[in-house]
Amino acid sequence: MHQITVGELVIDVARKDIKNLHLAVYPPDGRVRIATPLHLDDEAVRLFAISKLAWIKKHQANFETQERQSPREFVSGESHYFQGKRYLLNVIYYQGTPKVEIRNTTYIDLYVKPGSNEAQRQQVMMSWYRQQLKQDTPSLIAKWQQNMGVQVEDWGIKLMKTKWGTCNIQAKRIWLNLELAKKDKHCLEYVVVHEMVHLLERHHGDRFVALMNKFMPNWKFYKDELNRSPLGSY
């Protein structure tokens, strides 16, 4: 992958064995990427980008105005999100094993050892978020394997800056963004379905859209909701 510039806009260009150009603008900072057929040169890609400048700038502006969480210090009184809901963090220092509990649909109680620093408190929270996704994801994969007639051989969770999920088609492995633990459950399901559809169609073309419409008719609503929700800052 290399880059071209259009004015002040820097665009990532990926050449692939595809028939059509594909343009995408990614959160959180509006990174622009164009996937192009192998036979098109940079000038053709640049002209295509120029023709789409209004669309690109519109989506970048949406990301710039999107609500973001301020940097977290993992101290009592902060707002933290779980499954689309906002909670107040309550840090409790004790000698037992670190843990996280939801209390009264209002508070997230974070139990840590006395003297724990910010990085240690964050690690306990991240481990808890990861565990919640590990509990929720298998049933979704099983459900959609049956509905789609595909097989996911492996899946995992990792923190990603620009994507909610990825799919390795050859290995039939999907990855989910750890940040999805903070989003509503149907947003998680949308990402699972999106990545599993890639096992039927590699590219984001008309066939991919048709398959998404078939399996999850409201997928565009969930996609928009996901991209409107507060972005993490860590």
Q: pLDDT 10s per residue in the chain (234 long)?
A: 789 988 888 999 999 888 899 998 887 678 899 999 999 999 999 999 999 999 998 888 877 665 555 678 999 999 999 998 999 999 999 999 999 999 998 999 999 999 999 999 999 999 999 999 999 999 999 999 999 999 999 999 999 877 899 999 999 999 999 999 999 999 999 999 999 999 999 988 899 999 999 999 999 989 888 877 655 533
Same-domain status, 178 and 117: yes
What does the pLDDT read at residue 229?
63
Same-domain status, 23 and 84: no
What does the pLDDT read at residue 93?
96
Same-domain status, 153 and 40: no
32, 165 contact by CB (below 8 A): no
**What is the number of domains present in the chain?**
2
Residue 74 lies in a domain: no
What does the pLDDT read at residue 146?
95
Domain that holds residue 220: 79-228
Same-domain status, 28 and 97: no
What are the Cα distances from residue 125, in Å, to 56, 79, 89, 101, 121?
Answer: 35, 13, 10, 10, 6
Same-domain status, 112 and 176: yes
Q: Distance (Å, rounded) from C-alpha 182 to C-alpha 197?
A: 23
Residue 122 burial by CB count (10 A; 0-12/13-18/19+): exposed, middle or buried? middle
Residue 203 lies in a domain: yes
What are the Cα distances from residue 93, in Å, to 49, 113, 124?
Answer: 54, 5, 13
Same-domain status, 208 and 114: yes
Same-domain status, 215 and 102: yes
3-class SS of residue 105: coil
Residue 204 lies in a domain: yes
Tokens 């998404």 belong to residue: 212
Same-domain status, 51 and 83: no
Same-domain status, 142 and 83: yes
Structure tokens at 220: 């565009």
Residue 19 lies in a domain: yes
